Structure 1
Amino acid sequence: MQFPESWLFSMIDKDIKSEDLSDMLTMSGLEVEDLSSFVNYSHENILIVKVIDIIFEDCSNSISICLLDDGSGDVNKWGVYSGIGIKIDSKVALCRGLIIPSVLDKNVVDSLKQKQFIGEVCLLSSLDRIDNLKKIIDSGIDFKLGDYFYKNFNLGEKIFNIKLTPNRSDCLSILGIAREVSALTGAVIRHPQYDLITPNISDVISPRIISDDLCGRYSGRVIRNLNTNVETPNWIKERLIKSGQNCVSVLIDISNYVMLEIGVPSHIYDLDEIEGDLVVRKSKKNEKITILNGNELHLDSGIGVISDDNDILCLAGVMGAKKASVKNTTRNIYVESAFWKPGLISGVARKYKINSEAAHRFERGVDYLANIDCLEKITSLIKNICGGDVGPIDDVIVDLPKEKIVSMRLDRCCRVSGVNIDKNIVCEIFNKLGMSFNEQNDIFYVNSPSYRFDINIEEDLIEEIIRIYGFDNIPSLPPATEAKMICLSETNLDRHDFSKLMVCRDYQEVINYSFVPSDWEENYSDNHDVIKITNPIANHMSVMRSSLIPGLVKNVTYNANRQCTRIRLFEIGRVFRKDYNVLEDESNVANISQPTYLSGIAWGSLVEDQWSEQPRLIDFYDVKCDVESLFGKRISCLRFYPDIHKALQKGKCASITLDGNHIGFIGVLNSALTLEAGLMSPPVVFELDMKYLTQIKLPKTEIISKQPFIIRDISIWIKKNIEFQIISDIILDTISSNNELSIVKDFKLFDIWIPNKGSEYFDLGEKSIALRFYLQDNITLDEDRASYCMDIIVNNLSREVNARRRV
C-alpha cells in the first residue's frame, strides 16, 4: 500500500512527524517498508517558463539563448538551452541559479547586460531522468508559468510504502490507515466531505442476481449526459501518481481515487453498450471475454461474471470487459459498487494472470456496508467535474455476512500478553478500534466491524489489544525455568543425522515445494486420486506431492542445463496421500497421510574428471551402495527385490524391505521421463520412508582376536534364476544356527560366470558363483577345521537349493 503523507494527514487531526508515524505503524504490525521523498530535494529550483523568443543560436557549440517568461510579468529574462531548434511559445523547465556557460561568445553576453540571466532551460520531456518527474509530466497535469515543480506539486513530501499482511484488507485504503493511526494516537479522523447529489432523473437498472453465493450486495446508479473530454483535476492526478497509480481518463481516475481513499472498488460501464438486463451469474465452460488489457480469456465454468443479454461485460470483482468500457466519447454511464464473496473471487486473477487492484481487495474482504458511501462519493466527483444528470441508487441486498460476536476473557488476554492489563484500558482500546462491545464478568463480547474480516476468534482480539497497548510497553522478562538435561536415546536418529550421512556420501540437500503439477503425480507415481489445492499459488502447482522424486529430477535438469556434469541431490520432506484410515488429531488431518521421506538422485559421472580414473556414468549398484550405507549394522536385515514401477526402467528397479517391511524403492528413471526432462542419460533415484530409518541397533563391543584371518574360496553351481540374496540368507542362517561356524566372520561374492551358448554347461541352465570366506578364532586355526566349516556350508546349500561344488 503506497500513498503520500499529505493524503493521510488530510484525514488526521494530529501533528505528528512522518518518521515517528512510520515507527509507530511498524510496531503495531503494519510494516512500513519504505519512507522516502517523492523527488530528491536537490531539484527544488526547477520551475516552468515559456520561450518568448530565440535571441542567438550557436550551431558549432550546440547552444541557444532564449528570451523567457516566468509568469512574473518581467520579460527581460533570458536563459541558455543546450541544443538548437527549441520552439517558440513552448513551455520548458528552468533550473535557476546556474552560472553563464563559458562557451558563449563574450560579445553576445555583453549585449545581454540589460537583461537578467536566470538559468538553464531544458525540455519537459528531458525531466523523465529525474526520479518520479516523468510520472508527473506524462500525467498531463496543467503546468502554469512560474510553477516550481518541487513546491507547487509538493514533490518533496514523504511517500509511505506499507507491507500489509493478507489478513489486513481493512488497511488497503487511506481511510483504513487513518483508522489505525487514530487508534494508536487518539487522533480524530476527518472524513472527506462530498456533496450529496440529489437525483434529477428516474433511470434505474436493476440487475438479476442468479448466483447468491457469488454476490452479497449489488448497488448502482445511472448518470447521463456527461462531458468526459474534461481533464482530471490536478489534485486527483497528484494523489494517484504518488500512490503508484497511472492516470487514464477522468472517469477511471475518479473510480481509482475513491477506491484508494475508502477501500471500496467500483466499476463504470458505458451505458449505451449494455444490451438488455444486467445479470450476475457464474460462467459456462469456454465462455469468452476480452478484458480491458486486450487479452481474450476462455473461462472455466463457475467463474463470477456480469453479463447483459448478449455478452459478458465484467469478470466479477476482477476486471471489466473492453466492450462496455468507458471512452472519451462516452456520454451515459452505469456506476457499480458490489460486495463479492472473497471465497469465489480468490485465485481468479492469478488463474488468468490478471493484475487487478480490485481483485486484490475483494479476495481479502471489502466493507460490505460502504457500497452506498462509495457510490455517493463517486457521483459527487463525477457531477462536479463532468456534469450530467444523476439517477437514484438501486441497492440489491442478497446475502451479507452475519454480524460476528467474538468473546474475549480478560484473564486469558493477560496470560497471553504476560501483562496485567486493566479492564478500563481494554475498553478504551476497543473504543479506539471502533469495535462495539458488552462486558460481563470480565468477559468482553465484541462486535467485529464490517471492514474487519480478520476478527474471528479470541486470539484475534487479544492481538488487537496487544498491538494498540504497545509491544514496547510489555516488559522484557527473561523466562525462569529449571534447567534439566534431556538424555537422547542412542537408538533414535533424526533427520539431521541422515542429512549428515548423505552429505558424507557427496550428496547435496535441496528443499522443494510441496505443491506440484498434476501431471507429475500421474507420470511418476501413477496417482490418480490426488489431493487438489483449493487456492494454488500458481496454476502449475495445483496438487500436493506424493513423491519427492519429480522435484529432484527437475533440480537435476536445472543444473545439467548449466553445464554441471556430476549431480548428487537428496531431500527429506513430507509427502501427502489420501488415506481414509487417518483420523483428525493435533498432528494429522483427517483422511490425509503425511509420512516423511528421504529421497535421492544421482546423475552423470561417477567421479569428477581426473587423469587417473576412466570416466564412467553412475549406475544402479553405485546408488544401491549409498542406500545400504544409511542402515549401518541393520544392513543384514535389508533386502532388495526386483519390482516394477511406472517411473523406472524394467529390470533396473527394486523394492526395498527392512525386517520384512516395505520401506521404499530404487531404480533407473525410464526413457520417456528422461527424455521429457531433457537429460542425456537416465538418473538413478531412490525413496525411503523415514519411519523405518530412525530406529537403530546399539553397537556391541567384542574383543578383537590377535590371530590372523584364514581365507577360503569356494565355487558352486546354482540355477540361473536363484538370486545371491537367497544364497546369502542360507549361509547366514547356517552360521547363526551352528556354534562351530562362529569362526566364519564374513563372506562376499567376488565372481559370477554364466556359460556361453555352445559350452558343455550351457544346457544345464546353471551359473557359477565364487564366494570368499574370512575365518578367524582366538586360537590358531588348522586346515581340518576350516575345511569342516566349508563342508557344512556347502552341504546346507546343496540341501536347500541343489547347489554343487564346481571342480
Structure 2
Amino acid sequence: MQFPESWLREFCNPPLTTQQLADTLTMGGLEVEELRPVAPPFSKVVVGEIKEAVQHPNADRLRVCQVDAGQGALLNVVCGAPNARVGIKVPLALVGAELPPGEDGKPFQIKVGKLRGVESQGMLCSARELRLSEDHGGLLELPADAPIGVDVRSLLKLDDTIFTLKLTPNLAHALSVYGVARELSALTGAPLQQPKFASVALGHQDRLAVKVSAPDLCGRFSGRIVRNVDTQAKTPAWMVERLARCGQRSVTALVDISNYVMFEFGRPSHIFDLDKIHGGLDVRWGRPGEQLKLLNGATVTVDDKVGVIADDVQVESLAGIMGGDSTAVSDATRNVYVEAAFWWPAAIQGRSRRFNFSTDAGHRFERGVDPSTTVEHIEHITGLILSICGGEAGPVDDHAVKLPEPRPVTLRVARAAKVIGMPLTQQQCADALARLGLDVTEGAGTLTVRPPPYRFDIAIEEDLIEEVVRVIGYDKLPTTPPLAPIQASLRSEARRSRFVLRRLLAALGYSETINFSFVEADWERDLAGNAAPIKLLNPIASQMSVMRSSLLGSLLQALRFNLDRKAERVRVFEIGRVYTRDAAVATTDTTVRGIRQPMRVAGLAYGDVDGLQWGRKAPGSDFFDAKGDVETLLSPVKAQFEAAEHPAMHPGRCARILVDGKDVGVIGELHPRWRQQWELAHAPVLFELDLDAVQARPVPAFVPVPRFQPAERDIAMIVKDKVTHAQLLAAIRSADTSGLLRDAMLFDVYKPKQAAGGVAADEKSMAVRLTLGSAEATLTDEQIDGAVQAAIDSIAARLGGRLRG
C-alpha cells in the first residue's frame, strides 16, 4: 500500500520528520518498505503564461514564445512542443535553473542560448523533463488559475514523500490513509482528525428493491439512487493527484470517487448504472453454470461457493471482488446506484484466485472491512458525486441482516509481562489499549477488551499482548540474558546426522536437490501406484496439485531438467518428506490427523559411472553401481536385496532392500514405459530408503586383530537357474556351526549356452571363495575340510546343489 505523506498528515500530524515518521510506523508494526520523493530535485521552475507564440523564422517545428513569468518584462523562449499556444500556463525553467538529471546522470542547467539564430531565455517544460511522468507529448499544462511566477514545486506540492507500506494480513484496519493515521495517533499521541460525514440533501424518494438472500455472504448492504449525474464531468486535479500518488490512475469521475474513498477510509464500493439493472438486486450465492462478464473484460463461470449480486435477469457483480460489464457506468449513464456493503471475510477469501486475478476491493474484504460505517461512507461518496458530477440523491437503503458480534478478550497483566519480557503495570497496559481506541474494562490484574468493528485481528489474549508491546515500543524492551539452564542435546552415537549422510552421498558423486512437496497427480499414479493421493485444496499451480508419497518423481524431473541443458552424466539425491494416508496418526504439535509424514532419502544415477576418461571404456550406470552406493550408505549395516516389483521400476531389475528382515526401501532401473514417456536415452537407476533406517548404525565394537593366518578355499556349486546369490550365501552361513567362517564371496558364475561340463541347460555354476579362521589357533586340515564339507552339504540339502566335478 502506498500514499503521500501530505495526505497522512491531514489526519494526524505529529512533530516528526519524514524519516522519524517512517521509523515510528515501522516500529509500530506497519513496516515502511520504501520512501521516495514525489519529484526529483529541481530549482527555479516557475509558472509562466504564454502571451504570444509565432513561427520560428528558421525552423518549421519551432515557435518563438513570449512568456510572462511575473518578472515585469516578457521572456523570449524558443519551444518545439506541439501544444505551445497563447493563453496556457506551463512550467518555465528560468536561466540558472537546474533540472533533474538526464540519462547521463548529470543535472541539466538552463542557460541563455540561441536556437537557429533566435535567443531563448529559458525553457518551457514537459512532465517528462521534470521527471513527473513519462509523458513527453507536449508541455505540462497547469491549472488556469495558477498564479504567474509561483514556484512549480509549491504549486504542485512536489515537496512530498510517497510512503510504501508492507502490511501483514492481520493489519486490515491499516489499509487506508485514515487507518494508518489512526495507528500513528496511537503510537505518537498526536491528535487524530475525526472525519465528519454530513448527510446530503435529498432530491427524490426513489429506492431500489434489494434482497439479501445469503446472510453468511453479506452481513450488511447499503445503497442509494443518485439521478441526473454528469458522468462526463472532469475529476478535480487534487483528486487525480492523490490517486496517482497512491498508484492509481484516473479513469472517470465516478470511478475515481469510488477509488478515492477506498484509499481514504478503506471502504471499497461499487457504482451501478441504474438504468441497466433489471428489476431489483438479490445478494446471494452463485448458481452452477452462471456466467458474468467482468469490468476487466474476462468472462467467468461461478458456482455455489462464489457470492454474486444479481438482478431479476442475470448476475451483475462478483460479490466484494469486481463489478460486471453489463451495469458499468459509461458516458451515456444518467442515473446510478451507489453500493457499500460488509462481506464476510470467509466468503471472499480465495475467490479471486479461482479466476486468476486480484483486486484492491477483494484484498480488503477478505481481511475484514468495518461493517459499522457503510451508511456514513455512502453519504461521503454521495457528497463527492454531487459536488463533482451533480445530481439528485435519494434516501439510503440499509439492510443489516447479520453483523459480527464482538467477543470480549481478556488480558492478564502478569501473563503480558511474562510474554513481553519486561515488567508492566496494569495502568501501562490500559493506557496502551486505550490509545488504540479499544473499549477497556479493568479487573483485578486483568483487562477485558471489546474489539471495535474495524479490528478483525483481535481474538485471543496474545493479540492484545502484541498491541500493548507495539504501543509501548519494541525499542523499550530490555536486553535480558536467558536464565534457563543450558544443556547440550547430544545425539546418540547409534544415529548418524543428516549432514553426515549428505556428505557421504556427495562423496559418492551425487549432487543434492531440493524440490517441492507438491507434485503432479500423474507422478503419484504412475511412479508410486498411489490412486488416492492427498490433494491440495488450493494448489499454487495445476501441475502441483497433490502431496508426494515418493521422492522418485522429483528426481526424474531434476534429471529431465539437466538433460535438457546438455548434461551427459547426472547423479542426484534428495532427503525430504513424503506424505501418505494413515488413519492411526493423531493430531499433535508436529503431526496432522490421518497423514503420516516420514523422511526418506532417494538417489538417481544416469550416464557413465566415472564420466569421460581415457583409461577404460566408460559403461553406463547399471543396477549394481547403485546397489554398491546403497551398501556404502547403509554400511556398516549389512543389507539384503530381494527381487521385487515397483510401479516405477523395471519388472526384472528391481529389488527391495531389507535390514534385519525389515523392508526399508527399494532399488531398481526405471520402467521402460516411463523411460519412453520421459524421453530418456538410457534407463536411470533409482533408489529410495526410509531415512530412519539409513541414520541408524551399530555402535562400533572393537575386537583384536587375528593372530593366526586365515585359510581360503574355493568351491564351485551347480545349482538351478532360479537359485539366487543371496540364497546360496544364506545356505553357506547356516552351515557355520563352529564359527570358523569369516567371509563368503561369489567370484564367478558359469552358464553354458547348451549342456556341457556336467552343467544342464537349466543349471548354472556358482563359484564361492570361503575364508576360514580362528582367533585361538591355526586351523588344521581336518577343521578346514569339515567346514567346507558342511557348506557343501547345506547347499545340497537346502538348494539341491552339487559340487562341480
Return the TM-score normalized by structure 2. Answer: 0.90
Partner of 1:651: 652
1:489 is paired with a residue of what secondary structure? coil
Is contact 1:351–1:539 with CA below 8 Å preserved after alignment? Answer: no
CA RMSD of aligned residues (A): 3.0
Matched letter for residue 772 of structure 1: R
Residue 164 (structure 1) shift: 0.9
| Corresponding position: 1:372 with 2:375 | yes
**Other structure's SS at 1:462 match:** helix
Q: 394-403 or 679-688: which moved more?
A: 679-688
Matches within 5 A, 1:35-46: 35-42=35-42, 45=45
Q: In structure 2, what is the equivalent of residue 570 of structure 1?
A: 573
Shift of 1:127: 4.0
**Aligned 1:140-289 pairs, distance under 5 A:** 146=148, 149-289=152-292
Please give the alpha-carbon distance, in whole angstroms, between the structure 2 residues aligned to 1:139 and 1:168: 39
Q: 1:582 to 1:633 in 2, by over 3 A?
A: same
Which ranges in structure 1 are unaligned for 5 or more consecutive residues? Answer: none
Q: Report the AA paired with residue 45 of structure 1.
A: V
SS in 1 for 2:372: coil
Specify the code of the residue in structure 1 equivalent to 2:749: I
Cα deviations across residues 490-529 of structure 1 (Å, max 9, x unaligned)?
1122333322222222222233333334444333333343
Q: Distance in 2 between matches of 1:18 and 1:444?
A: 35
CA distance in 2, matches of 1:101, 1:682: 78
Please report how far the alpha carbon of residue 594 of structure 1 lies from its aligned counterpart in structure 2 after TM superposition. 1.8
Moved more, 650-659 or 446-455: 650-659
CA contact 1:454–1:460 (8 Å) conserved in 2: yes
Distance 1:772 1:155, change over 3 A: farther
Q: Deviations over 1:77-118 (max 9, x none)?
A: 12244x69775447765433345476646xx45xx5xxxx43
| Aligned pairs for 1:329-344 within 5 A | 329-344=332-347
Q: Which amino acid aligns with 1:705?
A: P
1:413 is matched with which residue?
416
Q: 1:43 to 1:781 in 2, by over 3 A?
A: farther
Secondary structure of the 1:651 match is strand
2:478 pairs with one of 475, 482, 486:
475
Answering whether residue 444 of structure 2 is matched by residue 441 of structure 1, we say yes
Q: How does 1:711-790 map to 2 (within 5 A)?
A: 711-735=712-736, 737-739=737-739, 741=740, 744-756=741-753, 764-777=761-774, 785-790=783-788
> Contact conserved, 2:81 with 2:139, CA < 8 A, in 1?
no
**Given the superposition, is the C-alpha separation of residues 646 and 333 from structure 1 closer, same or farther in structure 2, using an over 3 Å criterion?**
farther
Q: CA deviation at 1:55?
A: 5.3
1:531-560 alpha-carbon deviations (Å, 9 max, x no partner): 333444445444333233333332333333
Q: Deviations over 1:134-168 (max 9, x none)?
A: 49999998576657553322233111111111121
> Quick one: which of 790, 793, 797 aligns to 1:792?
790
Aligned with 2:637: secondary structure? Answer: helix
* 1:639 alignment partner in structure 2: 640
The one-letter code of the counterpart of 2:800 is N
Q: Distance in 1 between matches of 2:374 and 2:242?
A: 22
Shift of 1:697: 0.7
Partner of 2:34: 34
**CA offset digits 1:18-71 (Å, max 9, x no partner):** 211111111122211111212211377375654832453555xx9846214356
Q: Deviation of residue 455 (structure 1)?
A: 1.3
Aligned residue type for 1:703: P
CA distance change for structure 1 residues 3 and 530 in 2, over 3 Å: closer, same or farther? same
One-letter code of the match for 2:795? L
Superposition pairs of residues 691-710 of structure 1, within 5 angstroms: 691-705=692-706, 710=711
The 2-side partners of 1:8 and 1:732 are apart by: 85
Question: In structure 1, how many angstroms separate the alpha carbons of the residues matched to 2:397 and 2:2?
Answer: 33
Q: 1:361 aligns with which of 357, 360, 364?
A: 364
Give how far 1:591 is off: 1.9
Partner of 2:105: none
Query: CA contact under 8 A between 2:91 and 2:124: conserved in structure 1?
Result: yes
Shift of 1:796: 0.9
- Tell me how far 1:213 sits from its aligned partner: 2.3
Residues in 1 aligned to 2:155 and 2:134: alpha-carbon distance in whole angstroms? 13
The match for 1:22 is 22
Please state whether the residue corresponding to 2:301 is helix, strand or coil. strand
Indicate how the Cα distance of structure 1 residues 541 and 714 shifts in structure 2: closer, same or farther if over 3 A, else same: same
Q: Post-superposition shift, 1:259? A: 0.8
Moved more, 268-277 or 484-493: 484-493
Once residues 768 and 600 of structure 1 are traced to their aligned partners in structure 2, the CA distance between those partners, rounded to angstroms, is 34
With normalisation by structure 1, the TM-score equals: 0.90
What's the offset of the Cα at 1:74? 5.9
Q: State whether residues 27 and 471 of structure 1, in contact with CA within 8 Å, keep that contact through their aligned partners in structure 2.
A: yes
The DSSP-based 3-state class of the residue aligned with 1:726 is helix
Aligned residue for 1:557, secondary structure, equals helix
Contact between 1:39 and 1:155, CA under 8 Å: does it hold in 2?
Answer: yes
Instruction: Kindly indicate whether the alpha-carbon contact (under 8 Å) linking 1:437 and 1:447 is maintained by their aligned counterparts in 2.
Output: yes
Q: Is the 8 A contact 1:640 1:655 kept in 2?
A: yes
Task: Write the distance in 2 (CA, Å) between the matches of 1:221 and 1:86.
Answer: 43
Tell me if structure 2 keeps the 8 A contact 1:221–1:334: yes
Counterpart-to-counterpart distance in 2, 1:484 and 1:539: 47
- Residues 597 and 687, structure 1, Cα contact 8 Å, conserved in 2: yes
Q: Does 1:801 align with 2:799?
A: yes
Residue 263 (structure 1) shift: 1.1
- Structure 2 counterpart SS, 1:191: coil
**Residues 661-700 of structure 1: pairs in structure 2 closer than 5 A:** 661-677=662-678, 679-700=680-701
Q: Report SS of the residue matched to 1:655.
A: strand
Match of 1:498 in 2: 501
Query: C-alpha separation between the residues in 2 aligned to 1:748 and 1:155?
Result: 87
2:535 alignment partner in structure 1: 532
Note closer, same or farther for the CA distance 1:461–1:95 as it changes in structure 2 (3 Å cut).
Answer: same
The verdict on how the C-alpha distance between 1:691 and 1:610 changes in structure 2, with shifts beyond 3 A counting, is same
Deviating more after overlay: 337-346 vs 193-202: 193-202
In the alignment, the residues of structure 1 paired with residue 303 and residue 493 of structure 2 have an alpha-carbon distance, to the nearest angstrom, of 56
- Quote the offset at 1:328 in angstroms: 2.0
1:795 partner letter: D
Contact in 2 for aligned 1:715/1:770 (Cα 8 Å): yes
1:222–1:332 Cα contact (<8 Å) kept:
yes
- The residue that corresponds to 1:523 in the other structure is 526
Maintained 8 Å contact 1:65/1:78: no
Contact 2:47 2:92 in 1 (8 A): yes
The range that moved more, 351-360 or 542-551, is 542-551
- CA deviations on 1:778-799 (whole Å, 9 max, x unpaired) are 5555666544432221221111
Contact kept? 1:227, 1:387, Cα under 8 Å: yes
Call closer, same or farther: CA 1:234–1:88 in 2, change over 3 Å: closer
Cα offset, 1:468, TM superposition: 0.9
CA deviation profile, 1:355-375 (whole Å, cap 9, x unmatched): 311111112222222222221
Corresponding position of 1:427: 430
Other structure's SS at 1:601 match: strand
Within a 5 Å distance, the mapping from 1:580-659 to structure 2 comes to: 580-635=583-638, 638-659=639-660
Q: Conserved in 2, the CA contact under 8 Å of 1:283 and 1:303?
A: yes
Deviation at 1:7, TM superposition (A): 0.9
Aligned-residue offset at 1:347: 1.5
Structure 1 residue 233: Cα displacement = 1.0
Three-state SS of the structure 1 residue aligned to 2:746 is strand
Percent same amino acid among aligned pairs? 35
Shift of 1:631: 1.4
- Asked whether the 8 Å contact 1:48–1:92 carries over to 2, the reply is yes
Partner in structure 1 of residue 353 of structure 2: 350
Kindly indicate whether the alpha-carbon contact (under 8 Å) linking 2:69 and 2:92 is maintained by their aligned counterparts in 1: no
Give the partner amino acid of 2:38: F
Question: Secondary structure at 1:41's aligned position in 2?
Answer: coil
Q: Which moved more, 1:65-74 or 1:287-296?
A: 65-74
